[in-house]
Amino acid sequence: GSFPTPTTTTSLLWLGFGCHVAMLPLEAPIISALLLLLPLHTRRNVLLSLSSTTTATLSITAFDRSGPDIEATDNSNANRYGTRITMKSLELAAESRTLGPMAIYPDPILRRSASPVTQFGPAVNKVAEVLIDGMKTNSTTAIQYGIDARMIILKGSASPLQSGAPLVLINPTVLSRSGEDKMVPWIEYCSDIPLKNGGDLLEVELLRDELVEVAAQDLRGLPIRRALRGESARAFQHELDHLGGLLIVDHAGLEELPQAIAEGEAPYHKVRQRQAFERKVYQGNEPLYR
Protein backbone atom coordinates (compact mmCIF):
# COMPACT_ATOMS: atom_id res chain seq x y z
CA GLY A 1 0.00 0.00 0.00
CA SER A 2 0.90 3.65 -0.07
CA PHE A 3 2.01 5.78 2.84
CA PRO A 4 0.56 9.29 2.53
CA THR A 5 2.69 12.23 3.61
CA PRO A 6 1.09 14.51 6.19
CA THR A 7 0.33 18.02 4.96
CA THR A 8 1.19 20.71 7.46
CA THR A 9 0.43 24.37 7.76
CA THR A 10 1.71 27.04 10.11
CA SER A 11 -0.30 26.26 13.22
CA LEU A 12 -1.45 28.97 15.60
CA LEU A 13 -2.02 28.72 19.32
CA TRP A 14 -4.33 31.08 21.20
CA LEU A 15 -2.94 31.99 24.60
CA GLY A 16 -4.83 33.92 27.26
CA PHE A 17 -2.97 35.87 29.94
CA GLY A 18 -5.49 37.68 32.13
CA CYS A 19 -7.34 39.96 29.75
CA HIS A 20 -4.69 39.67 27.07
CA VAL A 21 -5.01 37.16 24.27
CA ALA A 22 -2.14 36.33 21.94
CA MET A 23 -2.15 34.26 18.77
CA LEU A 24 1.34 32.90 18.17
CA PRO A 25 2.86 30.46 15.66
CA LEU A 26 3.34 27.01 17.14
CA GLU A 27 6.98 27.25 16.05
CA ALA A 28 7.64 30.32 18.24
CA PRO A 29 10.23 29.65 21.01
CA ILE A 30 7.85 30.84 23.73
CA ILE A 31 5.29 28.24 22.60
CA SER A 32 7.84 25.45 22.77
CA ALA A 33 8.74 26.52 26.29
CA LEU A 34 5.12 26.79 27.41
CA LEU A 35 4.23 23.40 25.94
CA LEU A 36 6.95 21.79 28.03
CA LEU A 37 5.14 22.99 31.16
CA LEU A 38 2.04 21.02 30.27
CA PRO A 39 1.46 17.43 31.46
CA LEU A 40 2.70 14.90 28.92
CA HIS A 41 -0.69 13.71 27.73
CA THR A 42 -2.05 17.27 27.50
CA ARG A 43 0.99 18.36 25.52
CA ARG A 44 0.48 15.50 23.11
CA ASN A 45 -3.15 16.46 22.57
CA VAL A 46 -2.25 20.11 21.98
CA LEU A 47 0.40 19.20 19.44
CA LEU A 48 -1.87 16.72 17.70
CA SER A 49 -4.62 19.29 17.35
CA LEU A 50 -2.40 22.13 16.16
CA SER A 51 0.57 20.73 14.28
CA SER A 52 -1.24 19.58 11.16
CA THR A 53 -4.40 20.08 9.18
CA THR A 54 -4.21 16.53 7.90
CA THR A 55 -3.06 13.50 9.85
CA ALA A 56 -1.52 10.79 7.73
CA THR A 57 -3.21 7.44 8.04
CA LEU A 58 -0.44 4.91 8.00
CA SER A 59 -1.37 1.54 6.55
CA ILE A 60 1.43 -0.34 8.24
CA THR A 61 1.16 -3.79 9.71
CA ALA A 62 4.38 -3.00 11.49
CA PHE A 63 6.21 -5.39 13.72
CA ASP A 64 7.81 -3.03 16.12
CA ARG A 65 8.77 -2.81 19.76
CA SER A 66 10.64 -0.25 21.69
CA GLY A 67 10.83 1.40 25.02
CA PRO A 68 12.89 1.01 28.14
CA ASP A 69 13.54 -2.09 30.16
CA ILE A 70 9.94 -3.07 30.78
CA GLU A 71 9.93 -6.68 31.88
CA ALA A 72 6.64 -8.43 31.29
CA THR A 73 4.94 -8.85 34.65
CA ASP A 74 1.54 -7.84 33.33
CA ASN A 75 0.22 -11.16 32.07
CA SER A 76 -3.32 -10.76 33.40
CA ASN A 77 -4.95 -10.95 29.96
CA ALA A 78 -2.40 -13.19 28.24
CA ASN A 79 -4.67 -16.20 28.67
CA ARG A 80 -7.51 -14.56 26.78
CA TYR A 81 -5.73 -14.09 23.49
CA GLY A 82 -2.26 -13.49 22.08
CA THR A 83 0.85 -15.62 21.87
CA ARG A 84 3.46 -16.78 24.39
CA ILE A 85 6.58 -17.19 22.29
CA THR A 86 9.95 -17.92 23.86
CA MET A 87 12.93 -15.59 23.59
CA LYS A 88 15.90 -17.10 21.76
CA SER A 89 19.45 -15.96 21.21
CA LEU A 90 20.75 -14.64 17.92
CA GLU A 91 22.85 -17.78 17.50
CA LEU A 92 19.94 -20.15 18.14
CA ALA A 93 17.73 -18.21 15.73
CA ALA A 94 20.43 -18.45 13.05
CA GLU A 95 20.68 -22.21 13.52
CA SER A 96 16.93 -22.69 13.10
CA ARG A 97 17.04 -20.87 9.72
CA THR A 98 13.35 -20.01 10.04
CA LEU A 99 11.64 -16.88 11.28
CA GLY A 100 9.01 -18.50 13.45
CA PRO A 101 5.79 -16.86 14.66
CA MET A 102 5.39 -13.19 15.38
CA ALA A 103 4.40 -12.18 18.91
CA ILE A 104 0.78 -11.08 19.29
CA TYR A 105 -0.36 -8.79 22.10
CA PRO A 106 -0.43 -9.24 25.04
CA ASP A 107 2.52 -11.62 24.65
CA PRO A 108 4.96 -10.72 27.48
CA ILE A 109 7.83 -10.71 24.98
CA LEU A 110 6.46 -7.46 23.55
CA ARG A 111 7.40 -5.80 26.84
CA ARG A 112 10.98 -7.05 26.83
CA SER A 113 14.00 -4.94 25.88
CA ALA A 114 16.25 -6.42 23.22
CA SER A 115 19.91 -7.06 24.05
CA PRO A 116 22.74 -5.36 22.15
CA VAL A 117 24.54 -7.37 19.49
CA THR A 118 28.14 -7.79 20.65
CA GLN A 119 29.54 -10.30 18.16
CA PHE A 120 29.28 -9.96 14.39
CA GLY A 121 29.55 -12.84 11.97
CA PRO A 122 27.51 -15.53 10.20
CA ALA A 123 24.73 -15.61 12.83
CA VAL A 124 24.00 -11.89 12.42
CA ASN A 125 24.00 -12.21 8.64
CA LYS A 126 21.66 -15.21 8.71
CA VAL A 127 19.13 -13.62 11.04
CA ALA A 128 19.07 -10.45 8.92
CA GLU A 129 18.57 -12.56 5.79
CA VAL A 130 15.68 -14.50 7.34
CA LEU A 131 14.03 -11.30 8.59
CA ILE A 132 14.29 -9.59 5.21
CA ASP A 133 12.91 -12.63 3.40
CA GLY A 134 10.03 -12.98 5.84
CA MET A 135 9.05 -9.31 6.12
CA LYS A 136 5.42 -8.66 5.24
CA THR A 137 5.74 -4.90 5.75
CA ASN A 138 8.34 -2.21 5.16
CA SER A 139 9.83 -2.29 8.65
CA THR A 140 10.46 -4.89 11.32
CA THR A 141 12.62 -5.88 14.30
CA ALA A 142 14.18 -9.12 15.44
CA ILE A 143 12.56 -9.09 18.87
CA GLN A 144 9.04 -9.15 17.49
CA TYR A 145 9.86 -12.76 16.51
CA GLY A 146 11.44 -13.52 19.87
CA ILE A 147 15.04 -13.02 18.68
CA ASP A 148 17.00 -11.22 21.39
CA ALA A 149 18.89 -8.67 19.30
CA ARG A 150 18.70 -4.91 18.79
CA MET A 151 18.12 -5.09 15.06
CA ILE A 152 15.82 -2.96 12.88
CA ILE A 153 15.24 -3.46 9.17
CA LEU A 154 13.76 -0.79 6.90
CA LYS A 155 12.91 -1.48 3.27
CA GLY A 156 10.67 -0.18 0.51
CA SER A 157 9.11 3.17 1.38
CA ALA A 158 10.63 3.00 4.88
CA SER A 159 14.20 2.68 3.57
CA PRO A 160 16.29 5.77 2.84
CA LEU A 161 18.39 3.77 0.38
CA GLN A 162 18.04 4.00 -3.37
CA SER A 163 15.20 1.89 -4.79
CA GLY A 164 14.05 1.02 -1.27
CA ALA A 165 16.81 -1.55 -0.69
CA PRO A 166 16.80 -3.04 2.83
CA LEU A 167 18.72 -1.10 5.46
CA VAL A 168 19.82 -3.12 8.49
CA LEU A 169 20.41 -1.05 11.63
CA ILE A 170 22.05 -2.92 14.51
CA ASN A 171 22.30 -1.40 18.01
CA PRO A 172 20.66 1.88 16.86
CA THR A 173 20.87 5.06 18.91
CA VAL A 174 19.31 8.47 18.29
CA LEU A 175 21.93 11.24 18.13
CA SER A 176 19.54 14.14 17.59
CA ARG A 177 15.91 14.95 16.84
CA SER A 178 14.07 17.85 15.27
CA GLY A 179 12.29 20.17 17.69
CA GLU A 180 9.18 19.05 19.52
CA ASP A 181 7.20 21.77 17.75
CA LYS A 182 8.06 20.05 14.44
CA MET A 183 6.58 16.68 15.42
CA VAL A 184 4.31 15.07 12.82
CA PRO A 185 0.98 13.38 13.66
CA TRP A 186 0.27 9.92 12.27
CA ILE A 187 -2.35 7.25 12.71
CA GLU A 188 -0.47 4.00 13.20
CA TYR A 189 -1.56 0.44 13.63
CA CYS A 190 0.49 -2.61 14.41
CA SER A 191 0.14 -6.26 13.41
CA ASP A 192 1.04 -7.22 16.97
CA ILE A 193 -2.17 -5.72 18.35
CA PRO A 194 -5.25 -7.13 16.61
CA LEU A 195 -8.63 -6.37 18.12
CA LYS A 196 -10.66 -9.23 19.50
CA ASN A 197 -13.00 -9.32 16.51
CA GLY A 198 -10.06 -10.80 14.61
CA GLY A 199 -10.15 -8.65 11.50
CA ASP A 200 -9.19 -5.14 12.60
CA LEU A 201 -6.03 -3.76 14.13
CA LEU A 202 -5.85 -1.23 16.92
CA GLU A 203 -5.26 2.31 15.60
CA VAL A 204 -3.58 5.04 17.63
CA GLU A 205 -3.05 8.68 16.71
CA LEU A 206 0.41 9.71 17.83
CA LEU A 207 3.33 12.03 17.18
CA ARG A 208 6.71 11.18 15.67
CA ASP A 209 9.75 13.38 15.20
CA GLU A 210 10.05 14.83 11.72
CA LEU A 211 13.82 14.18 11.58
CA VAL A 212 16.03 11.80 13.53
CA GLU A 213 19.79 11.43 13.19
CA VAL A 214 20.71 7.82 13.89
CA ALA A 215 23.93 6.02 14.77
CA ALA A 216 24.02 2.24 14.31
CA GLN A 217 26.18 -0.63 13.11
CA ASP A 218 25.95 -2.58 9.88
CA LEU A 219 26.20 -6.37 9.42
CA ARG A 220 29.98 -6.19 9.83
CA GLY A 221 29.81 -4.08 12.96
CA LEU A 222 30.96 -0.95 11.13
CA PRO A 223 29.42 2.42 12.09
CA ILE A 224 26.45 3.88 10.19
CA ARG A 225 25.15 7.44 10.38
CA ARG A 226 21.80 8.28 8.83
CA ALA A 227 19.49 11.30 8.90
CA LEU A 228 15.97 9.91 8.50
CA ARG A 229 12.94 11.94 7.44
CA GLY A 230 9.33 11.27 6.55
CA GLU A 231 8.27 7.62 6.43
CA SER A 232 11.83 6.46 7.18
CA ALA A 233 11.87 8.51 10.38
CA ARG A 234 8.39 7.37 11.40
CA ALA A 235 9.05 3.69 10.77
CA PHE A 236 12.39 3.83 12.57
CA GLN A 237 10.83 5.42 15.67
CA HIS A 238 8.03 2.83 15.68
CA GLU A 239 10.58 0.02 15.55
CA LEU A 240 12.88 1.66 18.09
CA ASP A 241 9.96 1.65 20.51
CA HIS A 242 9.72 -2.11 20.07
CA LEU A 243 13.39 -2.66 20.87
CA GLY A 244 12.78 -1.31 24.37
CA GLY A 245 9.38 -2.85 25.04
CA LEU A 246 7.13 0.08 24.16
CA LEU A 247 4.01 -0.18 21.98
CA ILE A 248 1.66 2.23 20.26
CA VAL A 249 -0.77 1.83 23.20
CA ASP A 250 1.78 3.69 25.34
CA HIS A 251 1.36 6.78 23.15
CA ALA A 252 -2.40 6.89 23.75
CA GLY A 253 -4.52 7.82 26.71
CA LEU A 254 -6.27 4.95 28.46
CA GLU A 255 -9.61 6.49 27.48
CA GLU A 256 -8.64 6.09 23.81
CA LEU A 257 -8.07 2.34 24.09
CA PRO A 258 -10.59 -0.51 23.99
CA GLN A 259 -11.76 -1.38 27.49
CA ALA A 260 -10.03 -4.78 27.64
CA ILE A 261 -6.68 -3.30 26.62
CA ALA A 262 -7.07 -0.27 28.90
CA GLU A 263 -7.79 -2.47 31.91
CA GLY A 264 -4.69 -4.57 31.31
CA GLU A 265 -2.49 -1.52 30.70
CA ALA A 266 -3.77 0.69 33.52
CA PRO A 267 -1.32 -0.35 36.30
CA TYR A 268 1.72 0.37 34.10
CA HIS A 269 0.45 3.04 31.72
CA LYS A 270 1.68 6.17 33.45
CA VAL A 271 5.29 4.97 33.57
CA ARG A 272 5.24 3.59 30.04
CA GLN A 273 3.68 6.71 28.59
CA ARG A 274 6.35 8.86 30.17
CA GLN A 275 8.97 6.62 28.59
CA ALA A 276 7.21 6.79 25.21
CA PHE A 277 7.22 10.60 25.35
CA GLU A 278 10.84 10.95 26.51
CA ARG A 279 12.41 11.40 23.05
CA LYS A 280 15.81 10.27 24.29
CA VAL A 281 19.02 11.26 22.54
CA TYR A 282 22.57 10.05 23.09
CA GLN A 283 24.28 11.96 25.89
CA GLY A 284 27.82 10.63 25.50
CA ASN A 285 28.00 9.11 28.99
CA GLU A 286 27.34 5.50 27.94
CA PRO A 287 28.31 3.14 25.09
CA LEU A 288 27.09 4.46 21.74
CA TYR A 289 26.03 1.06 20.41
CA ARG A 290 23.82 -0.53 23.02
Give whole-number Cα distances, 11 to 14, 28, 30, in Å.
10, 10, 14
Could you say which of 239, 255, 265, 286 is catalytic?
A: 239
Angle at CA of residue 86, ends 82 and 92, nearest 5°:
140
Contact between 50 and 184 under an 8 Å Cβ cutoff? The reply is no
Q: What is the DSSP letter of 62?
A: B
DSSP string, 198-257: SS-EEEEEEEE-SEEEEEEE-TTS-EEEEEEEHHHHHHHHHHHHHHHT--GGGGS-GGGS
Residue from 151, 152, 156 nearest 138 by CA: 156
Q: What are phi and psi of 192, to 5 degrees?
A: -75, -15
CA distance linking residue 230 with residue 64, whole number of Å: 17
Q: What is the CA radius of gyration of the chain?
A: 19
CA distance linking residue 168 with residue 182, whole number of Å: 27
Query: Is 263 an active-site residue?
Result: no
Contact between 40 and 69 under an 8 Å Cβ cutoff? The reply is no
18 dihedral zone (left: phi>0; alpha: psi -120 to 50; beta): left
Catalytic center residues: 239
